[in-house]
Amino acid sequence: MNKKPESKSLVGLGARIRTHREALKLSRGYVAEELGVSLSTLQAWENDEREPAASSILRLSDTLKTSVGKLLLGADSEESKPVSTAVLTGGTTVDVKGNTVDLEEFVFVPRYNVSAAAGYGAWNDDESPMFTVSFRRYWVTNHLKADPAKLSVISVSGDSMEGVLNDKDIILVNHADREPREGIYVLRIDGQLLVKRVQRLPGAQLRITSTNPAYEPYNISLNDIPDDFDILGKVVWYGRVI
């Protein structure tokens, strides 16, 4: 018997994947190829027989031209609407000082229970967002120059990027920025999520390095990309508990 998804937030995900795909007139074969998965895997997702991983949901949202929130929860779902930690009084949202808060000034980014390892790799299979993290819309659009629908928040584990990104830091990832340049990126290699410094070298080479000298750097050829390698996005912000 096929195991149906149990996560409340993912109920109906398969139907939404199929609806978005059909609205764009995309074949299952095309979408599966874009995602780097088998046709049977995509079919299992659409039939709600299996849940896609968080990294696959992010790529799905990109391929299907929709946001992660709409894909996970549906455009009209009450759960997909922004959740405010401010006080609601008589239909008006106010902060702790009583000042009126305009929620349109904020974007609410999904926080996943997923770790990108600053080490040798870590993956957590709890794929649904735990909650959202709010950021000022002005800061996101004007300073990050980012589309809020293409952002997610995950955590860091391990010590290979210590001094820049430490164990248990949280990072904001821009999944629209997947063209490798100089910077820190979230990568998928051999089924593992890694956060590493990336440098593009002459000869179509990517240099993958850590700040901790205990971890050896290595190169990946853009002319011979491994089957299970993907750049999931650029790290654009981090948060840390002192």
Q: What is the DSSP string of the chain?
A: -PPPP--GGGTTHHHHHHHHHHHTT--HHHHHHHHT--HHHHHHHHTTSSPPPHHHHHHHHHHTTS-HHHHHH-TT-GGGS----SEEETTEEE-TTS-B--GGGEEEEEEEEEEEESSS-B-----SEEEEEEEEHHIIIIIS---GGGEEEEEEESSTTTTTS-TT-EEEEETT--S--SEEEEEEETTEEEEEEEEEETTTEEEEE-SSTTS--EEEETTS--TTEEEEEEEEEEE---
pLDDT digits (tens, 9 = 90+) for 112-133: 877 776 655 444 444 567 788 8
Burial 72-81 (b: 16+ CB within 10 A, else e): bbbeeeeebe
pLDDT digits (tens, 9 = 90+) for 53-108: 776 887 888 888 888 777 877 754 444 444 333 443 344 566 677 777 777 888 88
Q: What is the pLDDT of residue 50?
A: 83
Q: What is the pLDDT of residue 8?
A: 40
pLDDT band of residue 166 (cuts 50, 70, 90) is very high
Q: What is the pLDDT of residue 52?
A: 82
Higher pLDDT, 131 or 209: 209
Q: How far is it, in rounded angstroms, from Cα 76 to Cα 87?
A: 23
Q: How far is it, in rounded angstroms, from Cα 185 to Cα 235?
A: 5
Is residue 44 pLDDT above 70, yes or no? Answer: yes
Q: How far is it, in rounded angstroms, from Cα 242 to Cα 235?
A: 20
Is residue 152 pLDDT above 60, yes or no? Answer: yes
Architecture of domain 13-73: Orthogonal Bundle (1.10)
Alpha-carbon torsion 57, 58, 59, 65, what sign? positive
Nearest CA among 141, 26, 132, 146 for reference residue 72 = 132
Separation of first and last alpha carbons in the chain: 48
Q: What is the pLDDT of residue 3?
A: 44
Q: How far is it, in rounded angstroms, from Cα 57 to Cα 171?
A: 18
pLDDT band of residue 205 (cuts 50, 70, 90) is very high
> Which range has the worst mean pLDDT, 29-43, 96-110, 165-179, 215-229?
96-110
Q: For CATH 1.10.260.40, list the domain ranges present in the chain.
A: 13-73
Q: For CATH 2.10.109.10, list the domain ranges present in the chain.
A: 103-239
pLDDT band of residue 11 (cuts 50, 70, 90) is low
Q: What is the pLDDT of residue 123?
A: 45
pLDDT band of residue 206 (cuts 50, 70, 90) is very high
Cβ atoms of residues 124 and 114 within 8 Å: yes
Is residue 30 pLDDT above 70, yes or no? Answer: yes
Query: Can you give the pTM of this predicted structure?
Result: 0.63
Which tokens in the block code for residue 9? 């937030």
Q: How far is it, in rounded angstroms, from Cα 24 to Cα 1?
A: 32
Average pLDDT over residues 180-189: 90
Q: What is the pLDDT of residue 216?
A: 93
In CATH terms, is domain 103-239 a member of 2.10.109.10? yes
Q: Are strands 106-117 and 151-157 parallel, antiparallel or unpaired?
A: parallel
Q: What percent of the chain has pLDDT over 90?
A: 34
Q: What is the pLDDT of residue 100?
A: 79
Average pLDDT, the chain: 80
Is residue 185 pLDDT above 80, yes or no? Answer: yes
